[in-house]
């Protein structure tokens, strides 16, 4: 559409002009992860001296999250749906809040009026011939937030890759800021020997033709390294990254055997480098949809051979998983972990896998623990966990008694901790 600017001339403004419409006391929801509309957020931050008590709702904040920095708390109160490197301290110091919620259910906070949205700051592609802009790398809660906001401000950025699925028409955008800038990138993580050993153990649990959900980080990327001999894998995942591109180009991921959305890479957001963004741009096999579809356990469960792979900070000897707290400190959030674990449980021949290194803090702490740390939350309940995997092997928990679970988990703990775990388990009456 060459003449789209003429059609929306009254909506075309600078970032500074657009954010003049944010008022003190508003709830602002920002585009997610690498889809963050950086120019709009920057312009909003510049108004800090004039604003008070603006609530910023954001999940994975990949940008600098200046609204959560010390000194900003009078102007902006961050409501984190997930805690990350740039927001953790603010939550810890009570300058920001954390709201627990399954990722699949976040859209309903907005659409059902539980957290009514005043302003949605989103980032999209330029419009197509019919006037539709693609949500690019972030459909997740961004689309439902935009659909329920009083005011939608969009950064139209030609660097955003055009993905299929979620889109918004120019008519549904109130203010348009045309500003091109490269997307935020997530660099590939460092994969060490421990991650490789975990990856190899997880790969053994993945049959040809399986549909995969992969979490974020070194472990999911390490798993991908060991899948090169598999056939016809598929992707239905909250997100995916560069590692999936490598396997797609090698012909390992074909999506041919997926029970639904056959032939398609399905996700709700994407995080990676330009390599990923180039791969998904105008790729008819890639679709992004809102998280209430992609992460819906009922949708996930319709895939036969669905395998969910997620990580954790700690697993206790009953199989309870803590993936989000270090003691009473909120470290991350539930994200889509439980959505996919529940979905994989419903799937014919589905498997849910929790994969984690056996130790933390340079080997000083066992992540297989007799009990979860005092103050920590249970992210995934013991009833939901099928497999726990460390670099020392695989513990299958489904259908196992408490006694069997404790023994299996001690068996995959670091050898340095096995005898003390055994003593603790005996003292607790688990064994
Ligand atoms: N006690 C104390 N410290 C611990 C610990 C424990 N039990 N477990 C981990 N740590 C420390 C690590 O040593 C590390 O510290 P460092 O950064 O100083 O080295 C830090 O916590 C992070 O641990 P790590 O294992 O590197 O985390 P990660 O980046 O691989 O993330 C999760 C792991 C569990 C936090 C992450 O996967 C997550 O947030 N999961 C929940 C959401 C989810 O599963 N989403 C899935 C769909 S995308």
Rounded Cα distance between 284 and 143, Å, is 20
Give the three-state DSSP class for 428: coil
Banded pLDDT at 79 (limits 50, 70, 90): very high
Looking at residue 1, its pLDDT comes to 62
Beta strands 167-169 and 132-134, pairing class: antiparallel
The mean pLDDT value for 123-140 works out to 97
Mean pLDDT of the chain: 97
Scored b (16 or more CB within 10 A) or e, 202-216 reads bbebbeebbbbbbbb
Outline where 250-401 has alpha helix (H): 274-280, 291-294, 297-300, 337-346
To the nearest 10°, the Cα dihedral for 338, 340, 342, 343? Answer: 160
State which of 62, 186, 191, 332 you would mutate to test the pocket of ligand 1, scoring each by most atoms of that ligand within 8 A of its C-beta.
332
What kind and span of H or E run contains 54? Answer: strand 54-58
Closest C-alpha to ligand 1, atom 17: 361
Q: What residues does 253 pair with on adjacent strands? A: 233
Count of beta carbons in the 10 Å neighbourhood of residue 399: 7
Rounded Cα distance between 342 and 420, Å, is 32
Residue 52 pLDDT greater than 90, yes or no: yes
Residue 188 DSSP label: P
Looking at residue 3, its pLDDT comes to 86
Residue 373 pLDDT greater than 90, yes or no: yes
Give catalytic status of residue 238 as yes or no. Answer: yes
Looking at residue 83, its pLDDT comes to 97
Q: Do residues 382 and 354 make contact, with C-beta atoms less than 8 angstroms apart?
A: no
Closest C-alpha to ligand 1, atom 25: 313
Closest C-alpha to ligand 1, atom 4: 360
Looking at residue 215, its pLDDT comes to 84
Banded pLDDT at 91 (limits 50, 70, 90): very high
Q: Do residues 242 and 263 make contact, with C-beta atoms less than 8 angstroms apart?
A: no
Instruction: Please enumerate in sequence order all residues whose Cβ is within 8 A of that of 293, keeping only pairs 6 or more positions apart, or say none.
Output: 268, 299
Alpha carbon of residue 426 to chain centroid: 38
> Using a 6 Å CB cutoff, which residues line ligand 1?
215-218, 238-239, 310-314, 323-324, 326, 331-332, 335-337, 360-361, 365, 367
Q: Locate tokens 């670091």: which residue?
A: 414
Cα of first residue to Cα of last residue in the chain, in angstroms, is: 69
Distance in Å, CA 312 to ligand 1 centroid: 6
Residue 96 pLDDT greater than 70, yes or no: yes
Percent residues over pLDDT 90 in the chain: 98
Question: What does the pLDDT look like over 285-341, one tens digit per residue?
Answer: 999 999 999 999 999 999 999 999 999 999 999 999 999 999 999 999 999 999 999
Whole-Å CA distances, 205 to 28, 115, 305: 42, 40, 11
Beta strands 54-58 and 27-30, pairing class: parallel
Distance in Å, CA 216 to ligand 1 centroid: 10
State which of 59, 338, 360, 389 you would mutate to test the pocket of ligand 1, scoring each by most atoms of that ligand within 8 A of its C-beta.
360
What kind and span of H or E run contains 27? Answer: strand 27-30
Helix, strand and coil content of the chain, in percent to the nearest 5, comes to 30, 25, 45
In ligand 1, the atom with minimum distance to the C-alpha of 216 is 48
Phi, psi of 42, rounded to the nearest 5 degrees = -60, -45
Count of beta carbons in the 10 Å neighbourhood of residue 318: 20
In ligand 1, the atom with minimum distance to the C-alpha of 369 is 7
Question: What does the pLDDT look like over 386-408, one tens digit per residue?
Answer: 999 999 999 999 999 999 999 99
Distance in Å, CA 401 to ligand 1 centroid: 28
**Could you write out the three-class secondary structure of 325-379?**
EECCEECCCCCCHHHHHHHHHHCCCCEEEEECCCEEHHHCEECEECCCCCCCCCC
Distance in Å, CA 11 to ligand 1 centroid: 43
Residue 31 pLDDT greater than 70, yes or no: yes
Residue 2 pLDDT greater than 70, yes or no: no
Whole-Å CA distances, 159 to 126, 162, 275, 283: 9, 9, 13, 15
Alpha carbon of residue 268 to chain centroid: 9
Distance in Å, CA 335 to ligand 1 centroid: 13
The catalytically annotated residue of 238, 287, 324, 391 is 238
Q: Count Cα neighbours of 61 within 13 Å in the Cβ-side half-sphere.
A: 27
Q: Locate tokens 């990350």: which residue?
A: 84
- Tokens in use for 424? 């603790």
Residue 72 pLDDT greater than 80, yes or no: yes
Beta strands 151-156 and 175-178, pairing class: parallel
Question: What does the pLDDT look like over 192-245, one tens digit per residue?
Answer: 999 999 999 999 999 999 999 998 889 999 999 999 999 999 999 999 999 999
């Amino acid at each position: 559409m060459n003449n789209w600017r003429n059609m929306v001339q009254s909506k075309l403004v600078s970032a500074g002009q657009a954010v003049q419409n944010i008022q003190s006391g508003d709830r602002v929801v920002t585009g997610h992860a690498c889809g963050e509309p950086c120019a709009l957020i920057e312009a909003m931050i510049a108004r800090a001296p004039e604003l008070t008590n603006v609530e910023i709702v954001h999940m994975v904040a990949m940008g600098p999250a200046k609204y959560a920095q010390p000194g900003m708390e009078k102007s902006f109160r961050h409501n984190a749906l997930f805690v990350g490197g740039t927001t953790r301290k603010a939550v810890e110091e009570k300058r920001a809040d954390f709201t627990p919620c399954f990722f699949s259910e976040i859209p309903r906070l907005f659409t059902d009026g539980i957290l009514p949205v005043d302003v949605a700051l989103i980032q999209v592609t330029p419009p197509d011939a019919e006037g539709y802009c693609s949500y690019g790398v972030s459909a997740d809660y961004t689309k439902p937030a935009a659909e329920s906001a009083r005011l939608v401000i969009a950064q139209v950025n030609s660097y955003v890759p055009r993905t299929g699925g979620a889109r918004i028409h120019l008519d549904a955008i109130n203010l348009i800021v045309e500003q091109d800038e490269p997307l935020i990138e997530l660099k590939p993580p460092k994969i060490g020997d421990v991650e490789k050993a975990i990856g190899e153990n997880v790969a053994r649990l993945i049959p040809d033709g399986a549909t995969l959900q992969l979490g974020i980080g070194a472990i999911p990327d390490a798993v991908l390294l060991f899948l090169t001999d598999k056939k016809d894998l598929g992707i239905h995942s909250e997100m995916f990254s560069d590692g999936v591109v490598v396997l797609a180009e090698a012909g390992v991921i074909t999506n041919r055997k997926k029970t639904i959305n056959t032939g398609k890479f399905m996700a709700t957001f994407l995080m990676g480098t330009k390599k990923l963004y180039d791969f998904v741009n105008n790729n008819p096999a890639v679709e992004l949809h809102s998280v209430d579809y992609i992460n819906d356990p009922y949708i996930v469960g319709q895939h036969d051979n669905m395998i969910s792979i997620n990580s954790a900070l700690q697993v206790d000897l009953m199989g309870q998983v803590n993936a989000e707290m270090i003691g009473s400190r909120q470290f991350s959030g539930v994200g889509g972990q439980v959505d996919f674990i529940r979905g994989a449980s419903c799937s014919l021949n589905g498997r849910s896998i929790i994969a984690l290194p056996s130790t933390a803090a340079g080997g000083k702490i066992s992540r297989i623990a007799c009990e979860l740390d005092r103050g920590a939350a249970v992210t995934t309940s013991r009833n939901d966990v099928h497999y726990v995997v460390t670099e020392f092997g695989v513990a299958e928990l489904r259908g196992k008694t408490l006694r069997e679970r404790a023994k299996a988990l001690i068996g995959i703990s670091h050898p340095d901790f096995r005898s003390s775990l055994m003593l603790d388990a005996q003292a607790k009456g688990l064994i």
